[in-house]
Every structure is written in C-alpha cells, then in structure tokens.
Amino acid sequence: MGCCDVKNDPKISNKKGLKIVALAGNPNVGKTTIFNALTGLRQHVGNWPGVTVEKKEGIMKYKGREFLVVDLPGTYSLTAHSIDELIARNFILDGNADVVVDIADSSCLMRNLFLTMEILEMGVKNVVIALNKIDLAKKKGVKFDIRKMEKVLGVPVIPTNAKSGEGLDELKKAIVAMIDGKITTNPVIPVYEEPIEREIEHISKLLTGTVLIERYNLRWLAIKLLERDEEVIKLVLNHLGHGKMDEILQHISELEQYYKRSLDIVIANQKYEFIDNLIHQFVIHQGEFKETLNDQVDRILTHPVYGFLSLAAVFYALFKFVFTFGTPMQEHLDALFSNLGEAIAPYIANEMVRGLVVDGIIGGVGAVLSFFPLVFLLFIGMAILEDTGYMARAAVVMERVMRKFGLPGKSFIPMVLAFGCNVPAVMATRALDDERDRIITMLINPLVPCSARMVVITFLAGAFFQEHKALIAVGIYMISILLALLSALLIGKFIIKGEESPFVIELPDYLIPSWKTVIIHSWERSKEFLRKAGTVILFGAILIWYLSNYPVPVGSGLSYAEKLGKALEPFSMLMGLDWKAAVSLIFGIIAKENVIATYGILYGVEEGEQALAILMRNAMTPLQAFTLALVTTLYLPCIATIGAIRAEGGNKWALVAVVYNLALASIIGILVYHLGFFLL
C-alpha cells in the first residue's frame, strides 16, 4: 500500500528465496521470546526502512531447512492510526508472509483474538495461532478445549509457554507443515449485524469491477471503508473515482446516522461480541474478577508519592548499573586502543600513514567501541525493566509531568540517562511507543548535559566564579534542562506536528524476565548501534585528526583547525568568543571534554588545570566564560551522539538535530552575552 514498502535488510538477505514466517501479536504476549526460541542466535535487529520502528529478522532451522522469520511490531489492532500498525498490516496485506504466526496471550484471550480477527478478516489463510503463556492462564483458572478452538477458529492452535520452551517444537512443525501445504485451513470470519453486512456486500460489489480484486480482499476493504480508514479511502478513491466514492460515503453517513455513532465503534463492538460467542465454545472456565497481588503492588508503584520514590530508586539503580559498570569498561577499552596505537606506531615509517592509522583509525575505532559497554548495559537494564513489567508503571508515574511538555511518561527515561551519556540515552528512545514521541525525545536529548559536559561546566565555573561556582554550574544545568523541555513543546508544535498520542497502556503482570531473551536481544540491539553509529563516529574522528594535523600540527596557529576557527571568529565574536573558543568547540564535537583540553594546547599549557585557569582568566571575562560553558553545553551534539541519532532516526533526523542545536546555541549564546553585557 505504498506507505511502507518492506525491503529486506542487507544484513539478513533473502537471496535464497527462503519462505517467510511473520510473527504478529499484541505487545507483552512474549513475542520476542518466541522469536528467540525459533531463531536462536541467527538473528539481526534493525529498523524498518525510513522509520524508527525496530525490525527483527532471523533464520529458523527445521530438519535441515531454513526459513526467514520476521517479527512484526506488537500491535493491538491493524488500523492506519499508528506507524507500527501500518507496518504490520502492510506486511501481511502485501502477501509477504508465507505463514503468519499469531501469538496470543491465553490469559487475556478476548482482546488478543481481536487482532486475530483483524488478520483473518484480511483474507489470510495461512495462519497458525500460538496460544502463549498457557501456564499463566492455568494459574488464573482459564481452561481451553484446544481441539474445539481449532475447529471454531478454523486454523491450527498450538498452546505454548515460550519461557519454558513448551510447545515450540509443535509450533515449528505446524509452521513447516503449513508452508508445505499439508494443512488446509478454514478461517472463521467475523459476522456483523444485518445493516452492516448489507453495506459490506454493497461496497464489495462496487469494488468487484476494479483491479483491487486481484490484490485485496474486498470484504476487508469494505469494512475498512465503513470505519473510514484513511489509507483505504485513498486507495479505493484511486481506483474508483470520485463519483462512486461519494456514493459509498453517502451510504456510510446513512449507516452512521442509523447507529448514531461512528462505525468503527459499532464494528469493533460487534467484533468483540462475535469473539465472545466464539470463546464460550472453547473456554471451559474463565477466571473471574478479583483483586490480585499485582493490583496491590500497582497501587503503591503508581502512587503519587510512593510511586515517585520507587521510580527514583529504580532509576538510580539503572543509572548506577549502566555507568558504574560501563564507565570503567569504557576507560579500559579506550586505554587498550591507545596502547595498541602506541604499540603499532614504531612499525609505520611514513609519518602521514602512521598518523592516520594510529590517531585517525585506531583512535576512531576505539571511540566507537568504547561506547559499546554503555549501550549494551543500557539495553540489558531496559530489557529487564520492560520484561518485568516495571516500565509500564514508570510511564504511569511520569505521565502527568512529561505530558505538560507534550511528551509521554516514558520519555523521562532517556532524559535521565542523558545526564550520564547521551549515546545510550538516545538508544533508550526505543522504549517509546509512538514514532512522533520517539523523534521529539531524540531531538531534545542532546540538550541535557552529559557527564563530559559536566567536566567543562565545572572547570569554567571553578576558574571564573570561585565563590559562586556551584550556583553557576547549577544555573547552566537548569537553563539547558529548561531549554530541552521548551524545545519539546516547540518541536511538537511546529516541526513534527500530529496528534498527541492518547495515554492508554497495558499494565502486564509482573514477571521474572527470561534471561536468555534479555541478553540475546540486548546484544543484537548493541551490534546494530555499532554498525549504524560506528561509521559516523569513525568518519568524524578521521576528519578532526586531519584538520588538526594538516598542514602542520595544531598549536602553531597554522593548522586547518585553527584557520577554520579564525574564519569563524566574526561569528563567534557575536557571543563574545574568540577564535580559540571556536577551535575548542570544533574539537569538542569529538567529545565535549576536549573543549578544555584544546584550550590547553592552544595556550601551550602542558600540565595542570590551575595554570590553564590563570591564563584563561587573564584572557576572558567571567561573562565570556559563562557564555562558553553554556554554548559548549548546547551546541552540536558530540559525534557519538550524532551517530546514535542517525542509528535510531536516520540521516534526516541526525541532520535536524545538528542544525537545531547549532541554531539554539547561537541564539542563546548571543542573547546571554549581550544581555549580560548590558546588565553587568
């Protein structure tokens, strides 16, 4: 349907023409665990083309044969209102899948079968239902007659418990048998009340004369038209023309008047009634409403006071986990690569090649790899929060606060992590459910000062504002956080418009995570980070190495970097910053702590912050230093963060982040300098 053509990722290609197995299902049904069980380590995590929605692919082996498994985004339905649902829907609709495995949570069957019905209604015949979390259903007192269920639904039903591995062999067997054409299905299709059915028939007849009949199930198109599905209206309009379309719309309006409400409500309602009737035929005993331990825990964890306290504790733990373990590993990797560079250097005679290899390439690769531990640990932490079910509760607690800035509660997570490092923080935007929210959160993230910028802020505050250094440092933090939140409002209003997503979130039962899933998934996600962000970081490292060493090394006043700084001076002087500041800021793009180190080189200070502080105090006013600290905090995200934004959002949003941050830093820098000059 045009919107999201599904291309195969270059990493796992389908050159062999493997048969494709698509996994569909609601969020929190254990889809990832089943995906891992089917594919093992032969998998690859990427993004769907052009969007920030995660795409997982893997190879399933069965009796020496290989199949390509594609994990579709977890969705509750298949409307055109969210990018996730459109991706899943178009993938199925375009006939990409040889078999669709619909994974349903057996402890919550009513709602899960809604998606099943949406899939079957598309006219898909090759569907296998994995009735997952069968252990949980038993615990809740729900019993199934599987034979009856298969008969009623008309497709194979395999009870599974993905975590223990129960039923997975049977699932594989059913999938393969279906691909081999050994299973014939007779899927049940929801039936609606007479007035709706009459209209479906009427519209289907009008559509019969078009080429649509070759590609789509006409009944499905008719139902989606009744629901006023925007994508389907566009599609049908192209093939039917305005005359007949107006006639259809007229009929729809009449039907809406008859029911006195939108037909999407009526159809959903009748679909649920239909499902309810089906369920009664094969569910022997249904659990009843009763308050559980889960509910009592939820009251505490979503409480306005205790909820915040527990959230603070959990995030403190996450922060500690990522940075306490990650930072030493990062430093070790850094040291390892610089030792490697030193070890190799004597063996390269050509000075230029030596510089390129040692400082450019080894330094660059080291920079890329040194972020790997942070990103990997973050993904583990996040997977644990998600799989235990806590993430949903954190979203509830922060919802009210973040919503004031047009963001959902979950966007709090990347904001907090950013104080440590923006790279894992940008990667953490994956936890957000809505594409629009994801991009906004990603774009404002670099404005939250990371630990590298803390080094710059505290150095300048200490050197220039001895008595009020804490106040000045906190002030800069406050200004940048405020700017981040205001930017969220601004970007949401003017750059990425769109409906704010309504806050409705499932609170899954608290569970112990499947460790295998947590680790495999985090590993694959981190590898994707290396692949996508790595090229940007490496390229940046080589570029800066070149600028600072040619035609002569920096410090002489004649390197390209210094020339560039001098060329930029007329502009930076608007903020009261001379060419030395401009050069330092250029080097800060590699890593923000470089801003101070570069000043050291430019002033020829070999050792000691104290000496540098004195020299800088003689050359700059406190106002200039304050502006420099603020601009360092706000301007261009460091190269690794740009790489992370590119990995998550693509080139377009990486560019937007760069331009937005530069513009914001310039405006604020000029404003603060002039205002300060005027006031002081």
What would the two tokens of residue 171 be? 């699932």
Nearest partner of 391 among 306, 301, 300, 488, judged by Cα: 301
Shortest Å, Cβ 314 to other proteins:
17
Phi then psi for residue 477, to 5 deg, are -60, -45
Report the residue number, 316 or 503, with the smaller CB distance to other proteins. 503
For 400-424, give the DSSP string: HHHHTTT--GGGHHHHHHHTT-HHH
Report the residue number, 185 or 501, with the smaller CB distance to other proteins. 501
> For the purposes of burial, counting CB atoms within 10 Å of the CB of 380, is it exposed (0-12), middle (13-18) or buried (19 or more)?
buried
Q: How far apart are CA 644 and CA 604, in angstroms?
A: 34
Report the residue number, 120 or 638, with the smaller CB distance to other proteins. 120
Shortest Å, Cβ 191 to other proteins:
17
H or E element at residue 283? strand 283-285
Shortest Å, Cβ 17 to other proteins:
34
Phi then psi for residue 118, to 5 deg, are -65, -40
- Show the 3-state SS of 208-271: HCCCHHHHCCHHHHHHHHHCCCHHHHHHHHHHHHHHHHHHHHHHHHHHHHHHCCCHHHHHHHHH
Q: Could you tell me how far CA 184 lies from the centroid of its own chain?
A: 38
Report the residue number, 183 or 297, with the smaller CB distance to other proteins. 297
What would the two tokens of residue 418 be? 């950013």
Shortest Å, Cβ 79 to other proteins:
5
Q: How far apart are CA 633 and CA 456, in angstroms?
A: 8
Report the residue number, 39 or 75, with the smaller CB distance to other proteins. 75
Shortest Å, Cβ 190 to other proteins:
13
Q: Are strands 143-144 and 283-285 parallel, antiparallel or unpaired?
A: antiparallel
Report the residue number, 133 or 521, with the smaller CB distance to other proteins. 133
What would the two tokens of residue 276 be? 């309810």
Shortest Å, Cβ 230 to other proteins:
8
Q: How far apart are CA 516 and CA 171, in angstroms?
A: 20
47 strand-pairing partners? 54
Shortest Å, Cβ 504 to other proteins:
5
CA dihedral 206, 212, 214, 220 (to 10 degrees): -80
Shortest Å, Cβ 41 to other proteins:
33
Per DSSP (E only), the strands in 50-184 are: 54-62, 65-71, 99-105, 127-132, 143-144, 157-159
Cβ atoms of 445 and 422 within 8 Å: the answer is yes
Shortest Å, Cβ 294 to other proteins:
7
Q: How far apart are CA 563 and CA 20, in angstroms?
A: 56
Q: What DSSP designation does 510 have?
A: P
Cβ atoms of 469 and 512 within 8 Å: the answer is no
Report the residue number, 32 or 302, with the smaller CB distance to other proteins. 302
> CA 115, 409, 319: angle at the middle one, nearest 5?
115
Shortest Å, Cβ 293 to other proteins:
12
Q: How far apart are CA 28 and CA 34, in angstroms?
A: 12
Report the residue number, 98 or 264, with the smaller CB distance to other proteins. 264
Shortest Å, Cβ 463 to other proteins:
45
Nearest partner of 221 among 238, 204, 243, judged by Cα: 204
Report the residue number, 289 or 494, with the smaller CB distance to other proteins. 289
Q: How far apart are CA 69 and CA 19, in angstroms?
A: 9
Shortest Å, Cβ 499 to other proteins:
5
Shortest Å, Cβ 46 to other proteins:
26
Residue numbers at the binding site for other proteins (CB under 8 A): 75-77, 79, 81-82, 85, 107-108, 110-111, 114, 140, 142, 228, 261-262, 264-265, 268-269, 272-273, 286-287, 289, 291, 294-295, 298-299, 302, 392, 395-396, 399-400, 403, 499, 501-508
Report the residue number, 5 or 506, with the smaller CB distance to other proteins. 506
Nearest partner of 337 among 294, 366, 313, judged by Cα: 366
Q: How far apart are CA 234 and CA 250, in angstroms?
A: 16
> CA 459, 460, 461: angle at the middle one, nearest 5?
95
Q: How far apart are CA 213 and CA 344, in angstroms?
A: 66
Report the residue number, 192 or 587, with the smaller CB distance to other proteins. 192
Shortest Å, Cβ 407 to other proteins:
12
Shortest Å, Cβ 206 to other proteins:
23
Q: In what order do the strands lie in the sheet with 54-62?
A: 43-47, 54-62, 65-71, 20-25, 99-105, 127-132, 157-159
Shortest Å, Cβ 37 to other proteins:
24
Report the residue number, 122 or 530, with the smaller CB distance to other proteins. 122
Report the residue number, 302 or 549, with the smaller CB distance to other proteins. 302
Report the residue number, 191 or 343, with the smaller CB distance to other proteins. 191
Q: How far apart are CA 227 and CA 220, in angstroms?
A: 11
Cβ atoms of 408 and 532 within 8 Å: the answer is no
Report the residue number, 37 or 394, with the smaller CB distance to other proteins. 394
Report the residue number, 490 or 505, with the smaller CB distance to other proteins. 505
Give the distance between the most distant pair of CA atoms in the chain: 87
Shortest Å, Cβ 22 to other proteins:
19
Report the residue number, 302 or 661, with the smaller CB distance to other proteins. 302
